[in-house]
Amino acid sequence: MATPEAPAARAPADRNHGLWIFLIWLPLAVVADLLIWFVWKPHLPPGTMSSSAEHQQFDIAVMAVVAAPVLLFVWVYAGYALVNWRHRAGDDGDGPPIHGNTKIQATWIAATAVIVLGLFVFGTVELIVPAGAGAGEGPAPIWQPNTSHRLEVQVIGQQWAFTYRWPQFGGMETSELVLPNNTTVEFHVTSLDVIHSFWAYQLGVKADANPGVDNVAYTTTKEPGTFTVRCNELCGLWHGAMFNYGHVVSAAAFQSWATHWEAVQRSKGLLGMLPPYRLTYDPTVIPQLGASIVKIDGITGGAGYYYPPQDPVTP
Amino acid sequence: MAIEIQPGAGRMQPVAGGPESSRPWWMRPAIHTGLIGAVIGYFLGHWLGNALSYDYAQNALSDTNDVPIILGYVLGTIGWLAGLGVFNDLGRLMLGKPLRDVQHEPAGGLAKYFRYTLDHKVVGIQYLFGMITYFLTGGLFAMAIRSELLSPSYHLLSSSAYLMVVGEHGTMMMMMMSSVVLGPFGQYFAPLMIGSKRMAFPRIEAIGFWLTPAAYIILLSGVLLGGFPTGWTGYAPLSTQAGPGMDTYAVAFGLMGISMILAGFNIIVTYINYRAPGMRWSRLPMFVWSMFTVSFLQVLAVPVLVAGMYMMITDRTFQTAFFANQLGGSSYLYQNVFWFFGHPEVYILALPGFGVVSEIIPVMCRKPLFGYRTAAAGMIGVALLSFFVWQHHLFDSGINPDMRPLFMLTTELISIPTGFIYLVALGTFWKAKIRFTVPMLFCLAMYFNFLIGGVSGVFLSDVPADTTEHGSFFVMAHFHYTIMGGLIFAFMAGIYYWLPKMMGIKLNERLGKIHFWTMFIFFNSTFLPLFALGMLGMPRRVFEYAQNLQGLNVWVSISAFCLGGSLLIFLFNFVMSTLVWREKEVGNPWQSRGLEWQVSSPPPPENFEHIPVILSGPYEYGDPNAPPVADLNPPVGVVSAAYASSGAGLEA
């Protein structure tokens, strides 16, 4: 048994702990916010390839600027408390019986409410002004870009690939996504089987692909470059391998790419073979054949694998 | 208000331990008879399913028929419960035979832990061992996930095996861990903390536990059926086209849902009706408040899940089309139903953690809880708001897109009551005398982790920022910080804090500190980089990822293996301390004022010799004028006088 030691010297009773905590916190918070805004923000994802990506980057930076002082306040306070108000050997008494403090509790509630409501107003403005900020807005979006000059692209998800249809180019279908720079793009995202999600990462666009639903998302391209398209909703066996790359190119290069492929597909008769362009498709019906190709009771019911049940071999 | 249920007039005297207690051990209902019942029930159900549906439900593509599988599991579960003797009292009631005494269990022996025992203290211990088993099983699946993600392109698992492991891990953790605190500590301490001798419905409580092994085994049996490809969310139409492993998901989740509903009802009724005299609402321990609010969430939200699972089962068997777009159903319906349950579910996982830490910090700070009402209001506020936020899981789905500002608002509002929990903690630390015991360390870590989880949740509530983060590893990091960093750390705090009370044995403190520091460091080292991975464009549930993310993924995987090692330290400490070393701790090691610490450790079979009279709140530390928390031996007549106005008093 160790002999009880004398209580170590405590901080002077008259020390203004609240002021000390504030004085430690304030410079840390200011430095953290300056670092976030001026050093980190230009590198934050998803980058500046499109208007929606810029808005998302801006939002993430603003949230970080708000979050950092909150995190630092709790950490500084808790660190100060754990150092100064820890149990000292030999002192087995209890702490002061403080049951609460109405002023502090009211201040805390008011402060958190102000932060939260401020973030709500900010987030709503940032959702409406950039026309949905690149998120899927359903079949009838009410927040639209203020230009009627839009490139329409249909994104069709199916297990386990994305294909793109271009209604303004004769309804041609490509497996590659090429977009012109400085253009407002209207994505129509749909699926043929299960739920997928179209995530053009650097482009700042994310919209779920639901079967039978036309999910619209907008963005305006700002910089040429390459972006990644990934499926963002678990869609079965090869979900992890469901990705491809897209490109933002100059308007002239896009025009020649698109007209070239439209001509090729027209000359080979591919355009006539595709089902007519629609906002949604029912994969069990092929109009050219005039009838439903899948028996109704094959859609639901006992474990209907649409694909052979054997495992594909590990690549 | 009645604090004792009177045996009905004309009914014979109940028998302690049930009328079977005089039989030899192998004739008494226990696990072995339960297993026999389960096997008989499974084959009966399988036969019945084949007989009912041999011609119409067979699927030509996969050559499977889900009706016999589902019926096998359902009848197997009923057989398991029947074998355990769950329905015996129903039969006795109908035959007018003496019932089992719900309050007097025969003392002694380990056998009662393997039976359908009605004592809430036995059920609590059963839950404790069950939950640790389920948690470690789910953790093993996590190790498999991280092994696969060591390389972006070389695969240890096939794509279907990877999805199976992801689904088993997610479902095991989300469905079984919903009872990780409410099961062991909620059931054990619900009566002890309010001065009651029993739960309101001891049979329902015990059924709630005995459904969990059934759900666990059924879920695990999915491995034998090829697993399910949907993760823990089970989105249709993917779930409709999946193989028979999907049935294990639906049946197991449904069973666990029933267990949660039953436990919730029981706790609500117990807290309302079985409080001792003087246990006002303003004197309830915070842990009781958290169990109370969680129970409301379970009773109100989980039936939606059970309905969703039922619809999935009928879609897959009787060919209803709730979720089939081509036949008039909607895959949106499943998303809505699932998340209407799913978001309250994550607070079912978070609130018990708040309760445990708020219960422990005043003891270790030697100070009253700062802002008792604020803490209770925080829990009630979180519980209420949790029903109005579910569509933030569907921000990009195209459901109701014009309502996104509303759901952004409700989601952000929930950080106000969550902030109350932090206000209470920080206020309690003010000028305290903080004792760095192992439970306190886990509590502090819980606050640290949950803060990061909560703040990252605010990023996710903002629709534009969420467009980058939605469905990515950022989300995964977020909810692991809140659930593992919050709930599981609080669970560990609870084990170190309450095990001396539950078993009269304390866990080794040195190993406890090693366990804490390794778990805390490797937890953060595992999950902090996941925020970056999500921001850098890695979606969830993929087994192939961009080459440039390999470095971070390898770091995360190695940290995760170390985190697993840390849990092995815990397991070693737990097994050795409870089975081998058995260091006695019978008193009140934390000098807690909690009512549960005023009785011996472990508590006597009846909890309290007499119904106590509560004299003051549980957190009056440092107040020399505060009366003791309760009079455990009140003068004759006090208790019956307290209940005289309700006219049904009974001195026990």
Rounded to the nearest 10 degrees, what angle do helices B415-429 and B438-461 cross at? 150
Residue A200 falls within a domain, yes or no?
yes
- 3-class DSSP assignment, residue B233: coil
| DSSP code at position B432 | -
pLDDT score, position A298: 44
Residue B64: burial class (beta carbons within 10 Å; 0-12, 13-18, 19+):
buried
Shortest CA distance to B446 belongs to which of B499, B524, B365, B506?
B524
pLDDT score, position B560: 96
Mean pLDDT of B87-91: 90
Q: Which of B562, B581, B600 is the last residue of a domain?
A: B581
Q: Would an 8 Å CB–CB cutoff place B396 in contact with chain A?
A: yes
Q: What's the domain count of chain A?
A: 2
Task: Search chain A and give the residue with CA nearest B427.
Answer: A100
Mean pLDDT of B297-317: 92
Question: Are B92 and B236 members of one domain?
Answer: no
Residue B259 falls within a domain, yes or no?
yes
Question: Are B178 and B272 members of one domain?
Answer: yes
pLDDT score, position A7: 44
B residues 101..140 contacting A (CB < 8 A) = none
Question: Are A263 and A156 members of one domain?
Answer: yes
pLDDT score, position B507: 93
Q: Would an 8 Å CB–CB cutoff place B325 in contact with chain A?
A: yes
Per the model's pLDDT, the better-predicted residue between B637 and B430 turns out to be: B430
A residues 158..187 contacting B (CB < 8 A) = none
Contact call for residues B191 and B575 (beta carbons, < 8 A): no
Residue with tokens 């006795």: B92
pTM over 0.95: no
Give the whole-number percent of chain B exceeding pLDDT 90: 71
| Per-residue pLDDT reduced to its tens digit, B345-356 | 999 999 999 999
Question: Are B232 and B329 members of one domain?
Answer: yes
CA B49 vs CA A11, A292, A301, B320, B529: distances in Å = 75, 31, 14, 17, 48
Residue B240 falls within a domain, yes or no?
yes
Question: Are B543 and B446 members of one domain?
Answer: yes
Residue B646 falls within a domain, yes or no?
no
Question: Are B473 and B560 members of one domain?
Answer: yes
Contacts of B472 in chain A (CB under 8 A): 232
CB spacing of A197 vs B235 below 8 angstroms? no
DSSP assignment of chain A equals -PPPPPPPPPPPTT--HHHHHHHHHHHHHHHHHHIIIIIIGGG-TT-SSBHHHHHHHHHHHHHHHHHHHHHHHHHHHHHHHHHHTBPPTT-----------HHHHHHHHHHHHHHHHHHHHHHHHHHHTTGGGGB---SS-SS--S-S-EEEEEEEEETTEEEEEEGGGTTEEESSEEEETT-EEEEEEEESSS-EEEEETTTTEEEEE-BT--EEEEEEB-S-EEEEEEE-S--STTGGG-EEEEEEE-HHHHHHHHHHHHHHHHHTTHHHHSPPP-SS--TTEEGGGTEESS-GGGTSSTT--SS-SSPPPP-
| Per-residue pLDDT reduced to its tens digit, B487-525 | 999 999 999 999 999 999 999 999 999 999 999 999 999
pLDDT score, position B644: 60
pLDDT score, position B56: 61
| Per-residue pLDDT reduced to its tens digit, B458-485 | 999 999 999 999 999 999 999 999 999 9
> Which residue of B155, B467, B535, B552 is the best one to mutate when testing the A interface, meaning the one whose CB has the most A CBs within 10 A?
B467
Question: Are A247 and A164 members of one domain?
Answer: yes
C-alpha distance from B409 to closest chain A C-alpha (Å): 6
What is the residue range of B64's domain? 24-96
Residue with tokens 């850098």: B536
Question: Are A124 and A201 members of one domain?
Answer: no
What is the residue range of A160's domain? 150-282
Question: Are B223 and B78 members of one domain?
Answer: no
**Hey, what are B350's tokens?**
């978070």
Residue B182 falls within a domain, yes or no?
yes
DSSP assignment of B563-587 equals HHHHHHHHHHHHHIIIIII--B--S
C-alpha distance from B103 to closest chain A C-alpha (Å): 38
CB spacing of B463 vs A142 below 8 angstroms? no
Contact call for residues B287 and B356 (beta carbons, < 8 A): yes
Residue B78 falls within a domain, yes or no?
yes
Contact call for residues B584 and B507 (beta carbons, < 8 A): no
Mean pLDDT over the full length of chain B: 90
Shortest CA distance to B17 belongs to which of B136, B106, B146?
B106
Residue B557 falls within a domain, yes or no?
yes
pLDDT above 90: residue B649: no
Residue A294 falls within a domain, yes or no?
no
Residue A55 falls within a domain, yes or no?
yes
| Per-residue pLDDT reduced to its tens digit, B251-285 | 999 999 999 999 999 999 999 999 999 999 999 99
Could you give the CA distance from residue A208 to residue B596 in angstroms, rounded to a whole number?
A: 51
Residue A43 falls within a domain, yes or no?
yes
Question: Are A117 and A212 members of one domain?
Answer: no
A-B Cβ pairs (cutoff 8 Å, strict) = 363
- 3-class DSSP assignment, residue B48: helix
| Per-residue pLDDT reduced to its tens digit, B591-622 | 999 999 999 888 988 889 888 999 999 999 98
Residue A11 falls within a domain, yes or no?
no
Single-letter amino acid, residue B160: S
Question: Are B241 and B331 members of one domain?
Answer: yes
B63 pLDDT tier (thresholds 50, 70, 90): low
Question: Are A123 and A210 members of one domain?
Answer: no
Longest dimension (CA), chain B: 78
Contacts of B155 in chain A (CB under 8 A): 314-315
Question: Are B177 and B271 members of one domain?
Answer: yes
Q: Which residues contact B201 (CB under 8 A, 6 or more apart)?
A: B265, B266, B269
pLDDT above 80: residue B21: no
Residue B1 falls within a domain, yes or no?
no
Residue B627 falls within a domain, yes or no?
no
Residue A94 falls within a domain, yes or no?
no
CATH number (domain holding residue B182) = 1.20.210.10
Q: Which of B552, B581, B610 is the last residue of a domain?
A: B581
Question: Are A176 and A119 members of one domain?
Answer: no
B2 pLDDT tier (thresholds 50, 70, 90): very low
pLDDT score, position B405: 92
Contact call for residues B118 and B86 (beta carbons, < 8 A): no
Q: Which of B581, B607, B637 is the last residue of a domain?
A: B581
Question: Are B74 and B175 members of one domain?
Answer: no
Mean pLDDT of B575-589: 89
Question: Are A160 and A79 members of one domain?
Answer: no
Helices (H), B317-371: 331-365
Residues of chain A with pLDDT under 70: 1-14, 284-315
Question: Are B65 and B135 members of one domain?
Answer: no
ipTM for the predicted complex: 0.90
Question: Are A44 and A110 members of one domain?
Answer: yes
Q: What's the domain count of chain B?
A: 2
A residues 123..142 contacting B (CB < 8 A) = 123-124, 126-128, 130, 132-139, 141-142
Nearest Cβ partner for B243 among A91, A210, A309: A309
Question: Are A117 and A224 members of one domain?
Answer: no
